[in-house]
Amino acid sequence: MPDMEARWVKARRSVNLNACVEMTEGGDGVVMRNSRRPDDHIHHSMTEFAVFLEAAKNGEFDHLIT
């Protein structure tokens, strides 16, 4: 769980699309949330998040948005 002082960040492109996924560091990993539901968090270890980012960069999830 992130602390109350957590610095949440979101992609610049998401703001104009009203699709704000925010992230912050959380203990030994990364925490994600939807800005419309700020109390709901998804926690990922650094390893899980690194694997996700690599897969996203490689286009492995592109079929979900096209």
CA distance 7 to 34: 14
Partner residues linked to 21 by β-bridges: 34
Query: Residue 4 has what pLDDT?
Result: 60
- pLDDT tens string 9-53: 988 877 777 778 899 998 899 999 988 888 999 999 999 999 999
Query: Residue 16 has what pLDDT?
Result: 75
Query: Residue 5 has what pLDDT?
Result: 72
**Pairing status of strand 21-26 against strand 37-45:** unpaired
1/57: higher pLDDT = 57
Listed by start position, the domains of the chain span 9-64
Query: Residue 38 has what pLDDT?
Result: 86
Where in 1-66 does DSSP place strands (E)? 9-10, 21-26, 29-34, 37-45
